[in-house]
Amino acid sequence: MNHAEVFSENQDIVVATTGRLLQYIKEENFDCRAVETLILDEADRMLDMGFAQDIETIAGETRWRKQTMLFSATLEGDAIKDFAERLLEEPVEVSANPSTRERKKIHQWYYRADDIEHKTKLLVNLLQQPEATRAIVFVRKRERVHELANWLREAGINTCWLEGEMVQAKRNEAIKRLTDGRVNVLIATDVAARGIDIPDVSHVFNFDMPRTADTYLHRIGRTGRAGKKGTAISLVEAHDHLLLGKIGRYIEEPLKARVIDELRPTTRAPSEKLTGKPSKKVLAKRAQKKKDEKEKPRVKKRHRDTKISVSAGSQARPGRHQRPAMSKKNAGISRRFHIWR
């Protein structure tokens, strides 16, 4: 398709990626003066992908517009707030939180794993369950995509995958294999899975836990769509328990643990200290310290009481906060020009 010819005619709506749109702007194939409304969808994800400068360039090129709308799954964090302040003038914030009924459509729990091998066995077992009709497995890095695909293939589970810097034709083919039913498992990183819409996803698996709670929400939002129920399962190693606590506080619902009898973990669960919650002993010490500070009498100290007296015949080296004695030679110099060491 020759977009230059398309843009030569009046178009009511143009949907574009930032890179391609900037290309057409530089080639003068796209007239920015005709833009009345600029809509930025999934702004938080575009920031994560490093598109902030591109978006600001587009916003500058379309400065004749009448309205700007920014959509984001979350406004948490200084980055997205600063970004919104730079692009929007006197913005009105509209929040649309899902109802309790909608939240309950996605069942969430986790399994504790001893190590990567144990975690893979748990995933294989769960993917082989008949209710897992179409699943997306999330990992953190591209390297893990191919590793996990090989491990699952050895277990008799065929998969397709999405990874960063994948050409569009291969992305489309991977998604088509999943939607056609040739495979029922898609392995993806967070970056590669952005913007895809796959219907009837029964399960989302967090093979690698996300680094932030809002990324967790983005992941599990792939299931439970269009009024259907979904399942989100996290596979958690010992070093993931801090993240588990953050996610539970963020969604205001602690994730419950489950076990598979034949794949029970052999290691003990981390203590409360590792989940971010102080122990009773620590809380008691903190309370006692606050109590002692309140009961301690407050005595106002005068400046002269804090001076260090020097015994006769000895010379003390001035401390960090102690003013050094000035010799007669420089005694007349104003104090504000004195050099402190």
* Half-sphere exposure at residue 270, Cβ-oriented, CA atoms within 13 angstroms: 20
- Rounded to an integer, the average pLDDT of 181-200 is 87
- Rounded to an integer, the average pLDDT of 214-220 is 87
Residues 137 and 253 in one domain: yes
How would residue 339 be classed by pLDDT, with cut points 50, 70 and 90? Answer: very low
pLDDT (tens digit per residue) in 83-136? 888 888 888 888 776 655 556 789 999 999 999 999 999 999 999 999 999 999
Residue 307 falls within a domain, yes or no?
no
Given this model, what pLDDT does residue 236 score?
95
Residue 318 falls within a domain, yes or no?
no
Mean pLDDT of the chain: 81
Residues 147 and 271 in one domain: yes
Distance CA 281, CA 288 (A): 11
Closest-CA residue to 107 (of 213, 250, 228): 228
- 337 vs 119, more confident: 119
CATH number for the domain that contains residue 118: 3.40.50.300
- What percent of the chain is modeled with pLDDT above 70? 78
CA 1 to chain centre: 36
Given this model, what pLDDT does residue 334 score?
41
Distance CA 248, CA 255 (A): 6
**Per-residue DSSP letter, 69:** E
Cβ neighbours of residue 76 closer than 8 Å, sequence gap 6 or more: 214
pLDDT at 341 over 50: no
State the pairing for strand pair 135-139/106-112: unpaired
Residues 34 and 131 in one domain: no
CA 139 to chain centre: 14
- What percent of the chain is modeled with pLDDT above 90? 40
Residues 124 and 242 in one domain: yes
Q: Which residues pair with 258 in a beta bridge?
A: 111
Closest-CA residue to 88 (of 103, 75, 105, 104): 75
Given this model, what pLDDT does residue 304 score?
47
Given this model, what pLDDT does residue 3 score?
74
Instruction: Name the strands in the sheet holding 135-139, side by side, starting at the edge strand that comes first in the sequence.
Output: 160-162, 185-189, 135-139, 203-206, 230-236, 106-112, 256-258
Residue 304 falls within a domain, yes or no?
no
To the nearest 10 degrees (0 to 180), the angle between helices 52-61 and 18-26 is 40
Specify whether the CB–CB gap between 138 and 219 falls below 8 A.
yes
Closest-CA residue to 22 (of 54, 70, 56): 54
pLDDT at 242 over 70: yes
Residues 135 and 209 in one domain: yes
Residues 265 and 130 in one domain: yes
Given this model, what pLDDT does residue 10 score?
83
**Residue 77 domain boundaries:** 3-87
Residue 130 is encoded by which pair of tokens?
């008949």
Given this model, what pLDDT does residue 277 score?
55
Q: Within 10 Å of residue 243's Cβ, how many Cβ atoms?
A: 20
pLDDT (tens digit per residue) in 285-330? 778 877 776 666 654 444 444 444 444 444 444 444 444 444 444 4
Of 87, 115, 139, the position where a domain reaches its end is 87
Backbone region of residue 224 per phi and psi (left: phi > 0; alpha: psi in -120 to 50; beta: other values): left
Please report where in the chains the tokens 């143009």 appear, as a residue. Answer: 14
Residue 319 falls within a domain, yes or no?
no
Report which secondary-structure segment, H or E, holds 249.
helix 241-250
Closest-CA residue to 244 (of 219, 216, 280): 216
Residues 56 and 182 in one domain: no
Given this model, what pLDDT does residue 278 score?
55
Report how many domains make up the chain: 2
pTM of the model: 0.64
Cβ neighbours of residue 220 closer than 8 Å, sequence gap 6 or more: 106, 108, 204, 230, 232
Lowest mean pLDDT among 175-184, 186-195, 282-291, 321-330: 321-330
Residue 340 is encoded by which pair of tokens?
């402190």
Of 28, 63, 87, the position where a domain reaches its end is 87
Given this model, what pLDDT does residue 185 score?
97
Distance CA 118, CA 274 (A): 21
Residues 106 and 212 in one domain: yes
Residues 129 and 243 in one domain: yes
Residues 130 and 172 in one domain: yes
How would residue 194 be classed by pLDDT, with cut points 50, 70 and 90? Answer: confident
Q: Is the dihedral of CA 21, 25, 26, 29 positive or negative?
A: positive
Given this model, what pLDDT does residue 282 score?
66
Residue 42 falls within a domain, yes or no?
yes
- Rounded to an integer, the average pLDDT of 49-67 is 90
Residues 131 and 77 in one domain: no
Residue 134 is encoded by which pair of tokens?
């179409």
Residue 337 falls within a domain, yes or no?
no
Residue 43 falls within a domain, yes or no?
yes
Question: ∠ CA(49), CA(55), CA(59), 5° rounding?
Answer: 170
Residues 79 and 105 in one domain: no
Given this model, what pLDDT does residue 184 score?
95
Residue 283 falls within a domain, yes or no?
no
Given this model, what pLDDT does residue 57 score?
94
Of 49, 66, 87, the position where a domain reaches its end is 87
pLDDT (tens digit per residue) in 259-283? 999 999 998 887 655 445 555 666 7
